[in-house]
Amino acid sequence: MSLVKADAGGHASDAGASALRRRDVSGACIDALRPSGWRLGKVSRWGHQSRTCQIWRSLPGSPRTFEVAWLKRYKRSAAGEPHPALARELWALRLLCGLDVPRCLETLALAEEDALILSEVRGETLRHVRLEPAEAHALLAALLRMLCFLHQRGVAHGDLNLNNVLVRERHATMWRIALVDFGSALSAPALPPQVGEVPAAPAHAAPERLGLQPGLTAAHADLYSAGSLVRKLLRMSTEAPNAAAQRAGSPPTRAGDGHLDGFVARLTHPDPRARFVSAVAALEALRAAN
């Protein structure tokens, strides 16, 4: 549970929340939230999820405090059937309870959509993080540790991208991350479906998700996405400095080191059989080479 102290006017200290309220939330959804005391808050900080917004409610006691959560909505089909991602998310969150992932606090069943009230997970999305090359090892280790936990509980995330990974703590040699958005979650031992069957982020989807290679398991596809994320962030970390160096006539710099470059190349090998056997094996290899 995330608590926010009230200001002198009795409002949550996140200023300007009312100006950013979601206008696409139906009146029926707002009415369904009201009995539990929930009110609309800010637009999602978890990325570009148009059907996700922040909600809050006041808690009894003095000084006055507020609980913050997230409302995630799934539109039903024309036939009134629940969105398949709803069942995937609920299944995954139940299995992953206790990890750095949201908890489902309540579910809402409405005429045209279903909604989940998810606990707040604090952190900054990777999209807004500028990775220093020296930190790449720590980030990759954090991603692999999290995948170890997920896969051991039988869950593959299925959609690792810059918006779905939150940085909770950041030190030179140790990062702590959280994962959100499990609407594309899969059984870790299952064959990974292709992008057309389950939504994915094409920029970080494994070749087998794009139909370019035969697949092994959804867990192997997660490994590819983890390596692809780190490779993308390393590239971004040197683009601006290299542009400045080019203008100044200085030699460009390279991100990462030879070992890490080779490790990421193995994680992102087009053939899933050439990647590591599991997230545990990848993490052990990374630690042994450090």
User: Looking at the structure, do residues 179 and 72 belong to the same domain, yes or no?
Assistant: no
User: Looking at the structure, do residues 280 and 212 belong to the same domain, yes or no?
Assistant: yes
Summarised one tens digit per residue, pLDDT across range 174-226 is 999 999 999 999 999 999 887 777 766 667 889 998 888 888 999 999 999 99
CATH number of the domain within which 179 lies: 1.10.510.10
Band (248; pLDDT cuts 50, 70, 90): low
Domain range for 130: 124-289
Helix (H, G, I), strand (E, B) or coil at 113: strand
ω into residue 202 within 30 of 0, thus cis? no
User: Looking at the structure, do residues 31 and 172 belong to the same domain, yes or no?
Assistant: no
User: Looking at the structure, do residues 195 and 271 belong to the same domain, yes or no?
Assistant: yes
For residue 109, the cross-strand partners are 114
Among candidate residues 59, 85, 119, the one where a domain is terminated: 119
What's the pTM?
0.84
- Hey, what are 248's tokens? 């100044």
CB 59 within 8 A of CB 65: yes
User: Looking at the structure, do residues 240 and 100 belong to the same domain, yes or no?
Assistant: no
Band (240; pLDDT cuts 50, 70, 90): low
Between 258 and 72, name the one with better pLDDT: 72
CATH number of the domain within which 59 lies: 3.30.200.20
- What number is the average pLDDT over the span 225-248? 76
Closest among 117, 100, 70 to 176, alpha carbons compared: 100
Question: How many distinct structural domains can be found in the chain?
Answer: 2
Summarised one tens digit per residue, pLDDT across range 126-167 is 998 999 989 999 999 999 999 999 999 999 999 999 999 999
User: Looking at the structure, do residues 149 and 275 belong to the same domain, yes or no?
Assistant: yes
Among candidate residues 85, 102, 119, the one where a domain is terminated: 119
Among candidate residues 93, 119, 145, the one where a domain is terminated: 119
Distance from C-alpha of 70 to C-alpha of 53, rounded to nearest angstrom: 6
pLDDT at 108 over 80: yes
User: Looking at the structure, do residues 35 and 150 belong to the same domain, yes or no?
Assistant: no
Angle (CA) 82-206-124 rounded to 5° is: 70
How many CA atoms lie less than 13 Å away from 2 in the CB half-sphere?
Answer: 17
Q: For residue 224, what is the DSSP state?
A: H
Q: What dihedral angle (degrees, nearest 10) is formed by the CA atoms of 192, 195, 196, 198?
A: 60
* Whole-number pLDDT of residue 7: 42
For residue 3, the cross-strand partners are 67
User: Looking at the structure, do residues 84 and 155 belong to the same domain, yes or no?
Assistant: no
User: Looking at the structure, do residues 257 and 133 belong to the same domain, yes or no?
Assistant: yes
CB 134 within 8 A of CB 235: no
User: Looking at the structure, do residues 30 and 134 belong to the same domain, yes or no?
Assistant: no
User: Looking at the structure, do residues 43 and 148 belong to the same domain, yes or no?
Assistant: no
Summarised one tens digit per residue, pLDDT across range 255-268 is 455 789 999 999 99
Distance from C-alpha of 83 to C-alpha of 46, rounded to nearest angstrom: 20
